[in-house]
Structure formats: structure tokens, C-alpha cells
Amino acid sequence: MKNLARLAIVAALAFAPMAARADLKAIEAAAKKEGELTWYIAHYTSEGAEDLGRGFTEMTGIKVNVVRTTAQVAYQRLLQDIKNNQTICDVFSSTDVGHYVRLAAEGRFEKYIPESESKILPAFRNFDPAGFYHPTSAGLVLLTYNSSKVKAEDAPKTWTDLLDIKWKGKVSLGHPGFSGYVGTWVLTMKNLYGWSFFDKLEKNKPQIGRSINDTVTALVAGERQVAAGADGSTLFSAARGNPLAISYPTDGSVLIIAPSAIVKGTKRPNAARLFMEYLYSIEASKINAKHFGVPLRPEVPAPPGAKPLSEVKTIRPTVAEIDKGIPSVIEQWRDTFGN
């Protein structure tokens, strides 16, 4: 009896990877029969998302219904769908890691480990050991500045440089209650320097926007001069000719990882799997880099003005820290900054 059980376990172990990592050819053939899929997407810009969807269609002939919204809206829509026993969404891509922790715990995802996971940058592999969600988009929170007002040599080099009195009234930030990027950054700074970092930062009277991209506006307008900003939106605006530049802090750029997952009960499981594979393809990385995202594949060069991720010192909290920690730093933030 015991042996039988052992045998069953061995058999299960032998077949499990096959169940999760099926033959790509078979998946592709079945996916084409399914014909389309719906993608709730909060990563990327709206153009970037549409471009990625089109890229998939060109490659496979499968139509992608791109529903690009903010992370909260995508999550709310998915929750309502689940409540009403609807499976509209096939692939769910939120920027809020907390959504995945919760949905995975409730068994809302289909387990699937993309075949091509071994080909992406090591930093992105094995994000969820249980195999339900996988990084499909990444960005950095780093130091940004208005290059017509601040010379490169005067620009801040470390996060603690922002505390210097010379930046009084000149710092721009987002709000952790409105932006996952900012929330993760605040948590990382707290882990690194303790909350006193923010008490000191408040003495410099930073201007607090909502989204991390509000820092781009504040810098371009000349309203503020230095910021904790995002690489993608800053470089995009700089590439147009706006006076912006980035500086990789020597104490570490905060790496933000946003995953995707296949929704349980999807009516197009093969199209969804093929799409996950596609997000790890060189083609998808190229489209991503074109829209100033960090390419997941090492073969694809970083967008103009950015360093390859392998040359950047990055730091990031764990998934569990993000899920537990962000709600509490939002409260601390509101105590310190008053909103």
C-alpha cells in the first residue's frame, strides 16, 4: 500500500511537468482553433498594450481583445466576473502583486509555467514558486531630473542625496496610495533607511503627485527639479526632446515586477498559454523596449537612454513584503505627509 502510494507520487512527479509544460506545437494548433483571447492589462502604456496584442495576432493569427485599464479597475472587473461566474478574461496582467497573492490563494488561476521561462533574464525567473503567475513587465524607480536646470554632475547619485537641503522645494514624488510603483519604492526605502528617511524628506517639502508619472509633468514644467521617477515614462518623454534625464542611484534602483496569470476556467486555455509564451518571446521584448519598457529577454537591447538591466544595481522587496507592507506604509505616509 505504502509502495503504491510512493509509486503514485513518483508517477505524479513525472507527469506534473508535462501537464504544466505541454508540447508547444499542440498548444499552438489548439490555440488557433480557439481563435481569440481577452486580456485585462494594466502594464504598459495603452499603445504598448495594443502593440503587443497586435504582435501576437500577426504571429499566430489569434485575435487579442485588449482591455487596458488601471490595475484597480482590471482587478474590480475580474472580481465582478468571478462573482457572476463569467469567464471573460483569459489572461490577467495587473501591476499590483497583492492582487496575485490574493487571487492565487483563492484558486483563481490556472497553473502554467511558460516553456520559455528559462530564456528570460535570471532576475525574472521563478517569481512565484507555485507557478501561477509570472513576471511579464518590469520597470525601475530611480532618480530623475530636469536636465536644463540641473547639471549631470550636480544631480543626486543616491537616494539619501534627496535629503540634502539644496533640494528644498525642488523634489517631486508620487503617492503610494495611488501608485504601486511609488508604494514599492516607499517600502524599499523604509527597509533600507528606516522611516526617518521620510521624516527628513518631508523637511525638503516635496511636491506629492498621484501617479509616478506626475513627476514627469512636474519636472518638464520646471515646477520641480529632481524626482523619484520611473525609467519608462521619463525616457519616453526625454526621447521626444523634453529636458529630462535619469540617474541610477548607487544604493540601488527599485525594480518593479508586474506578473501575468491565466484565469481559472478560461474557455481558451491554449490561446492563453500561447500568449504567455509570446510575452516571453524576443518579439514581445522588442515591442516592449520600443515603448521604453525593460526587455525581459537578454538578447534585446535596452531602450534608448537606459542601461541594460544586467548593469544596474537593483533592489526590491519580496512578494510577501509588498503584499503585507504597502498598506501600512500608506498609513505612515499619510501621517508624515498629511495626505
Partner 1 sequence: MATSSTEVPVSRAGSRWDASWLLWIAIIAILLILVVSPFFYLVLTSFQAEKTGDFTLSNYATAYGRARYIDALFNSLKLGAAAAALAGAFAIPLAWAVARTDMPGRGFTRMLVLATFITPPYTGAVAWILLAGPNAGWLNRFYVFATGAEAGPFNIYSFTGLVVVIALYSFPYIFIFTTAALELVSSEMEDAANILGAGTWRTMRRVTLPLALPAILGGLIICFLEAIALFASPAMIAIPARFNVVTTQLYQFFGNPVRVEVAAAYAMPLLGVTVLLVLVQRLITARKGFATLTGKGGERRPIRLGRWRWAMFGYAMFVASLSVFLPYIFLVQSSFAKAWGRGFSLDNLTLRNFNFVLFEHATAAQSVINSFLYAGAAATAAVLITLGIAYIVTRRLVPFAEVLGFLCVAPFVIPGVVLAIGFYAAYAPPPLSLYGTALILILAFTTRFLPIGYVNASAAIRSLNPEMEEAVRVLGGSRLMALRRVVAPLLKRSLLGAWLLIFIPATRELSSAIFLYGPNTKVASVMIFDMSEEGNFEYLSALALILQVLTLPLLYIGQKALGRDFMLRRTAT
Give contact residues for partner 1 (rule: CB under 8 A): 38, 45-47, 50-51, 54, 65-70, 72-73, 75-77, 79-81, 83-86, 88, 96, 98-99, 169, 175, 177-178, 180, 207-211, 213-214, 216-217, 220-224, 233, 236-237, 240-244, 323, 326-327, 330, 334, 337-339
CA distance 155 to 247: 8
User: Of 98 and 114, which has the nearer Cβ to partner 1?
Assistant: 98
Amino acid letter, 324: K
Closest CB 7 distance from partner 1, rounded Å: 40
User: Of 220 and 302, which has the nearer Cβ to partner 1?
Assistant: 220
User: Of 302 and 326, which has the nearer Cβ to partner 1?
Assistant: 326
Residue 276, Cβ density class (10 Å: 0-12 exposed, 13-18 middle, ≥19 buried): buried
Q: Are strands 226-230 and 171-173 parallel, antiparallel or unpaired?
A: parallel
> 246, 144 in Cβ contact below 8 A?
yes
User: Residues 233, 234, 238, CA angle at the centre, nearest 5°?
Assistant: 115
Closest CB 12 distance from partner 1, rounded Å: 32
> 124, 135 in Cβ contact below 8 A?
yes
User: Of 90 and 117, which has the nearer Cβ to partner 1?
Assistant: 90
List Cα–Cα distances, 275 to 104, 174, 243, 268, 284, in angstroms.
19, 32, 37, 11, 10
Block residue for cell numbers 550636480: 154
User: Of 45 and 160, which has the nearer Cβ to partner 1?
Assistant: 45
Name which of 169, 236, 240 is nearest 201 in CA terms: 169
Closest CB 84 distance from partner 1, rounded Å: 4
Closest CB 329 distance from partner 1, rounded Å: 12
Cell of residue 260, nine digits: 501575468
Total Cβ atoms within 10 A of residue 5: 9
Closest CB 138 distance from partner 1, rounded Å: 17
Closest CB 78 distance from partner 1, rounded Å: 11
User: Of 102 and 119, which has the nearer Cβ to partner 1?
Assistant: 102
Q: What is the DSSP string of 72-116?
A: HHHHHHHHHHHHTT----SEEE-S-HHHHHHHHHTT-EE----GG
User: Of 138 and 326, which has the nearer Cβ to partner 1?
Assistant: 326
Closest CB 4 distance from partner 1, rounded Å: 39
